[in-house]
A and B are shown apart, each in its own frame.
Chain A
Amino acid sequence: MSFWDFVDDRWSRLLSESLLHVSAVVQCTIIAALLGVTVGVAVYRSPFGSAVATALTSAILTIPSFALLGLLIPVLGLGAPPTVAALVLYGLLPIVRNTIVGLAGVDGAITDAARGIGMNRFGVLTRVELRLAWPAILAGMRVSTQMLMGIAAIAAYARGPGLGVEIFAGLVRAGSANATNQAIAGTVGIVVLALVLDGIFVLIGRYTTSRGIRGQ
């Protein structure tokens, strides 16, 4: 059976796994963004806090994904919970770091003016600082998404959802009929989906960033 025949034959199954894969990555990126931006907002005023938050999230990233999932299984069991936990943890670093960099990069004169004309702290944060840091935060989310697309494949090890199932099944049955096709289908699927998501991020960036701060 050729690769295309294989894809044709398994189309509905590949499609549903693709959807699960993307949905897991997108949801985990959103959770990571909510957590990451909160952490970034909490620490960006203090150089010490920023350094600690960046170091901690970097440390998480250095744990091999295979090991992290393995360690999470005894605690969270199999399936979705360890997958979500691992993806969120991995997704934090780029978002936390970019939030800190983005917020710290806001010109002091602008926040001074915002305070000086009577905005309260919350207003300065939500109406000025986060708006100006948004392109950086979005870039962090974009990097996280790309990274999580690959890491999510490993989640099949913990019986997680997604295209990783195909890759693992193909690799386990190496040498038998269609094993290579199966592994390749999973891999190519992830690459294609990653490119599509990246394109969507470009569009989101275009429509959610003020023309006043978008790169010329």
Chain B
Amino acid sequence: MASEIQLTDVTKRYGRRKPAVDNFSMTIPAGEIVVFVGPSGCGKTTTMRMINRLIEPTSGTITIGGEDTSTLDPDKLRRTIGYAIQQAGLFPHMTVAQNIGVVPGLLGWDRKKIADRVEEMLDTVGLDAAEFHDRFPRQLSGGQQQRVGVARALAADPPVLLMDEPFGAVDPITRGNLQDELMRLQGELRKTIVFVTHDFDEAVKLGDRIAVLGEQSKILQYDTPDVILANPADDTVAGFVGAGASLKQLTLRRVRDVELVQPEVIVSTQDEPDEIRRRLTDAGRSYALMLDARRRPVAWVHVREPRVRRPIRDMVAAESTVQDALEAILTEGGNAVVTGARGEFKGLVEIDTVMAVIRDLRETV
């Protein structure tokens, strides 16, 4: 369930100063993630907050699923729009379960249904219900608080979700995990999500479309990440895209989308060193990949020292980006090892495959 959001000639003016948001028009397609990205103070948050009427537009109309929001009661409107913000904004005096249950409670669901929904949401955002149910926000890490914030925003199954720099206050590793998690969730839920950030890399990773905004929320470019990376509309957008646009394009392709190669020689942890050496010599190769009994990659083995297991320093998953694979290739000094959902070996990504992806990206855009 998702709704299209349509903003038409929306302006926000404070007093007699020049407008904070000037004549903003945009269609946000149902079921897509649209990322507003721009420098701080450009009005991107103001624009987002007008969608759920935390800020009232001075003029212009906003419709959600065809319905004019200005005709609705603002409090009731907000109960149908998920809202997640930086540092989560959890209620510190309520438990995790109570926090998640607030909106269903406001909507008048009965206790049983709320309790069931809370369990479901904890599970959805990857928190163990038994462990986290009765905790208070201060007993959670930043990443866990952010997950609860997302769970609270989604609890009443709103068709639209507004996220204002929700991952801005957590460390880079946790942020990466939360982003992956959001993409996975969106794969299932297909909400219409408006996501505000000043981090262009985050925009590229998450957005189906990116709106690069300038002063007074002026739309400098509104397009898919591929197009913005390949053809920035002007110098300001190009500056925002920053250096390494081609590298960033690699984050648009997933390892599962590229062709994997199989190594010539795969050995098992049970194989004798002599056997390994013989097979490598026969194949005319210097390295073999060693898998364990459950076909999980363990090590590389060289023909001259078949007893020495050289650890695999960096592996990638099928969901990883091609950029991650390139990173692994550079770390390994060879091919990147790809594993499946249970850690089983899937194949290798070669540097030539990555080059082919880059060529392909250049041609298609």
Contact = CB atoms under 8 A, between A and B. Distances in A.
Chains A and B come from one and the same complex: yes
Contacts of B87: 109
Looking at B83, B91, B94, B95, which has the most chain A CB atoms within 10 Å of its CB? B91
Given A112-B54, A113-B83, A117-B79, A212 B136 contact: yes
A129 to B, nearest CB: 10
- Which of A109, A110, A117, A212 has the most chain B CB atoms inside 10 A of its CB? A117
Interface residues of A, number: 20
B78 A118 contact: yes
B86 A109 contact: yes
A210 B92 CA distance: 9
A123 B82 CA distance: 18
B272 interface: no
A116 B78 contact: yes
B79 A113 contact: no
A206 interface: no
Interface residues of B, number: 31
Contacts, number: 71
Nearest to A110: B89
A114 B106 contact: no
Interface in A96-149: 107, 109-110, 112-120, 123, 128, 131-132
Given A112-B54, A212-B138, A117 B83 contact: yes
A213 B79 CA distance: 26
A132 to B, nearest CB: 6
Interface of B: 52, 54, 75-80, 82-83, 85-95, 102-103, 106, 136-138, 149, 152-153, 162
28 contacts: A107-B89, A109-B86, A112-B89, A113-B85, A113-B88, A113-B91, A114-B89, A116-B52, A116-B54, A116-B78, A116-B89, A116-B162, A117-B82, A117-B83, A117-B102, A117-B106, A118-B75, A118-B77, A119-B75, A119-B106, A120-B75, A128-B91, A128-B93, A132-B92, A132-B93, A210-B93, A212-B94, A212-B137
Given A115-B78, A116-B85, 9 more contacts: A109-B87, A113-B90, A117-B152, A118-B77, A118-B80, A118-B106, A132-B93, A210-B136, A212-B93
